[in-house]
């Protein structure tokens, strides 16, 4: 019979068996082991020997960067109560093939090639030859692929930004826009009004339901808004009161620089200018109806004006 006097655990265990037995100790310590031999005659003999139980390391590691594309980082967090760990064996696919061995705790980057479920294992060996192994399941999630298009890229108007991002595993749950002019948005599709023309760095960040993110930074050129020039020739008022009171004193059109002629009711030309600048007023004329012609590069008009006194 074998007596294992495990003083650390606080009890003595007796195992009846042959010349080979197995026993697991609760922790590293010096243990007194007693072997009692009983002969067929009934007499007994015993021997006690101190045995040093060396500490077994605890293999462990952390996993980070579980979003793909990108390398997954595995770093050691193994411990041992006394002594030291002298060997670290990494098996990134847990296929019994050791990928790398080091003598110091290290972190490693490994690209699994695609999103999915994988297993990695770490075996550590102490300075006294004690071995511990652990394995962990690694879930690699897919990152979104960020993309967008823009439209109506002129200053002073609402420029629209339409999300074109995609993901095949999971969903895109949040968006962050930075339009490069201090304005931001959290909408999937957004608009922004640029006050000035120029080039702006627009950023879109997308985040999946598994908290994997991707971003795209792209220059967007905002042009000057087009100035709409009216091509219509318009008489601003068909009534003239040439009394210098500041109201309806001059014959005024919506365009200047045109050829203007003015006629009385007998068809006598009383005024003509090849580059009229809205500056004709004639207080000496009798009150009544007069007519005008105006010719501009974009067209010509004629009409009636009334002088009132």
Tell me which fold the domain 61-142 belongs to: Immunoglobulin-like (2.60.40)
Q: How far apart (Å, rounded) are the C-alpha atoms in residues 255 and 222?
A: 31
CATH number of 148-222: 2.60.40.10
3-state SS, residue 20: coil
Residue 230 confidence class, pLDDT cut points 50, 70, 90: low
Instruction: Tell me, yes or no, if the pTM score tops 0.75.
Output: no
**Cα 16 from chain centre:** 67
Domain with CATH 2.60.40.10 in the chain: 61-142, 148-222
Q: Decide if 140 contacts 72 (C-beta within 8 A).
A: yes
Beta strands per DSSP E along 60-212: 61-64, 67-68, 72-76, 85-91, 100-102, 107-110, 116-126, 131-142, 148-151, 158-163, 172-178, 184-185, 190-193, 198-208
Q: Tell me the CA end-to-end span of the chain in Å, nearest whole number.
A: 140
Instruction: Identify the burial level of 32 via C-beta atoms within 10 angstroms of its C-beta, where 0-12 means exposed, 13-18 middle and 19 or more buried.
Output: middle
Residue 8 confidence (pLDDT) above 60 = no
Q: How many DSSP H helices and E strands does the chain contain?
A: 0, 24
pLDDT at 17 over 80: no
CATH 2.60.40.3080 range(s) for the chain read 239-307
Residue 111: pLDDT band (50, 70, 90) is very high
Among 2.10.260.10, 1.10.730.10, 3.40.50.2300, 2.60.40.3080, what is the CATH number of 239-307? 2.60.40.3080
- Cα gap 244→250, rounded to integer Å: 9
Greatest mean pLDDT range, 61-75, 203-217, 257-271: 203-217
């Amino acid at each position: 019979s074998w007596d294992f006097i495990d003083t650390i655990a606080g009890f003595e265990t007796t195992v009846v068996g042959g010349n080979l037995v197995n026993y697991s100790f609760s922790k590293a310590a010096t243990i007194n082991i007693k072997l009692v031999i009983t002969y067929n005659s009934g007499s007994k003999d015993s021997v006690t020997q101190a045995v040093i139980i060396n500490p077994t390391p605890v293999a462990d590691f952390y996993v980070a960067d579980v979003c793909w594309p990108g390398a997954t980082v595995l770093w050691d967090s193994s411990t041992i109560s006394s002594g030291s760990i002298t060997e670290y064996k990494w098996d990134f696919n847990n296929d019994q093939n050791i990928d790398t061995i080091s003598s110091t705790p290290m972190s490693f980057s490994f690209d699994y090639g695609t999103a999915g479920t994988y297993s990695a294992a770490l075996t550590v060996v102490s300075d006294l030859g004690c071995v511990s192994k652990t394995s962990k399941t690694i879930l690699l999630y897919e990152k979104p692929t960020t993309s967008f298009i823009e439209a109506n890229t002129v200053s002073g108007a609402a420029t629209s930004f339409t999300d074109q991002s995609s993901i095949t595993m999971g969903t895109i749950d949040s968006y962050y826009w930075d339009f490069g002019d201090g304005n931001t948005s959290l909408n999937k599709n957004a608009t922004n009004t640029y006050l000035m023309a120029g080039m702006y760095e627009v950023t879109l960040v997308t985040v999946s339901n598994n908290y994997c993110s991707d971003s795209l930074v792209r220059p967007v050129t905002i042009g000057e808004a087009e100035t709409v020039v009216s091509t219509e020739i318009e008489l601003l008022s068909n009534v003239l009161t040439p009394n210098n009171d500041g109201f309806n004193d001059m014959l005024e059109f919506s365009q200047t620089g045109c050829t203007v002629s003015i006629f009385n009711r007998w068809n006598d030309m009383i005024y003509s200018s090849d580059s009229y600048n809205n500056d004709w007023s004639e207080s000496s004329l009798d009150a009544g109806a007069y007519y005008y012609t105006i010719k501009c590069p974009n067209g010509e008009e004629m009409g009636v004006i009334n002088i009132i006194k």
